[in-house]
């Protein structure tokens, strides 16, 4: 799919590192003009817009700057998210609200901000990064995170129905265990090795594994696919 996104403009939230960086870099290699939205620039080589996706005005500014720079927007990747581990017993209302605000409300805010332009042009690809956590299975100590990812899948299906008349496809990816800086911060090497052994493919995934799946759904090759969840987990959840 060399230069399969040539001439397209894509926003990737949380694109400064981890899965988001993998998506942003792959999109650029395929000819897309990429805008990275994040709280920290992390030396990204793409156009960077500082954005707190839990803030609707920040998301509106993100789309505004994208249109001012490139004159168009074709693809929105709702990737940014947080996953602080805490038991339900110890979880505070503030901790719950923050995860909901970033992961679920943030997906709404960015989609809403991009909507009028995509509808006017009658073309768009929206890919939401869900997770096997919540969208497929549950995980202890991540009830707030799982709730948001299940919510994102419901949001994906509903918006896919609403936006189909505008030639806008909305889909979601459910990653399994992916090696990212965030995961490395909460899992030691022994834990990562044990997790990898539990996966049929016998390894943790990489940001590039997810990026390739996102690339397909963001391309015109997936123009007849909408409202779907693509699980990318090395076979973990089929056991």
Q: Decide if 6 contacts 32 (C-beta within 8 A).
A: yes
**Sheet hosting strand 47-50, strand order edge to edge:** 47-50, 33-38, 9-13, 75-78, 124-129, 168-175, 229-232
Q: Decide if 30 contacts 3 (C-beta within 8 A).
A: yes
CATH 1.10.110.30 for domain 9-177+206-232: no
Q: Which two tokens stand for residue 15?
A: 């694109």
Strand partners for 124:
168
Q: In terms of DSSP bridges, do strands 168-175 and 124-129 run parallel, antiparallel, or are they unpaired?
A: parallel
Q: What is the pLDDT of residue 1?
A: 56
Q: How far apart are alpha carbons 14 and 36 in whole angstroms?
A: 7
Q: What is the pLDDT of residue 42?
A: 76
Q: What is the DSSP letter of 178?
A: B
Q: What is the pLDDT of residue 13?
A: 98
Residue 145 annotated as catalytic: yes
Q: How far apart are alpha carbons 47 and 138 in whole angstroms?
A: 36
**Whole-angstrom Cα Rg for the chain:** 17
Q: What is the pLDDT of residue 191?
A: 85
Phi, psi (degrees; rounded to nearest 5) at 137 = -135, 175
For helices 18-29 and 207-218, the axis angle rounded to 10 degrees is 50
Buried b (16+ CB within 10 A) or exposed e, 33-56: bbbbbbeeeeebebbbbebbbbeb
Q: How far apart are alpha carbons 198 and 71 in whole angstroms?
A: 46
pLDDT by 10-residue block (mean), the chain, 239 residues? 85 96 97 96 90 98 98 98 96 98 98 98 98 94 98 98 98 94 79 91 96 98 98 95
Q: Considering the candidates 83, 123, 139, 145, report the single residue annotated as catalytic.
A: 145
pLDDT per position as a tens digit, 154-212: 999 999 999 999 999 999 999 999 988 877 777 888 888 889 999 999 999 999 999 99
DSSP string, 110-172: HHHHHHHHHHHHT-EEEEEE--HHHHTB--TT-HHHHHHHHHHHHHHHHHHHHHGGGTEEEEE
Q: Which two tokens stand for residue 81?
A: 């998210």
Q: How far apart are alpha carbons 173 and 207 in whole angstroms?
A: 12
| Domain spans of the chain, in order of start | 9-177+206-232
């Amino acid at each position: 799919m060399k230069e399969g996104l040539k001439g397209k403009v894509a926003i990737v939230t949380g694109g400064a590192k981890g899965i988001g960086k993998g998506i942003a870099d792959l999109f650029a290699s395929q000819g897309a003009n990429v805008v990275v939205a994040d709280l920290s620039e992390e030396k990204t080589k793409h156009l960077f817009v500082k954005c707190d996706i839990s803030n609707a005005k920040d998301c509106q500014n993100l789309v505004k700057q994208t249109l001012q720079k490139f004159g168009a927007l074709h693809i929105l990747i709702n990737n940014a998210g947080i996953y602080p581990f805490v038991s339900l017993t110890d979880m505070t209302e503030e901790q719950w609200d923050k995860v909901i605000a970033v992961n679920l409300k943030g997906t709404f805010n960015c989609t809403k901000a991009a909507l009028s332009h995509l509808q006017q042009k009658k073309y768009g690809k929206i890919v939401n990064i869900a997770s096997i956590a919540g969208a497929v299975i549950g995980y202890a100590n991540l009830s707030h995170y799982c709730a948001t990812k299940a919510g994102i899948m419901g949001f994906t299906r509903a918006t896919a129905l609403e936006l189909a008349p505008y030639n806008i496809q909305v889909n979601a990816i459910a990653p399994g265990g992916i090696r990212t800086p965030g995961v490395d911060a909460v899992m030691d090497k022994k834990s990562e090795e044990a997790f990898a052994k539990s996966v049929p493919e016998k390894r943790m995934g990489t940001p590039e594994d997810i990026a390739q799946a996102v690339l397909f759904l963001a391309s015109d090759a997936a123009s007849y696919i909408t409202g779907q969840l693509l699980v990318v987990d090395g076979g973990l959840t089929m056991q």
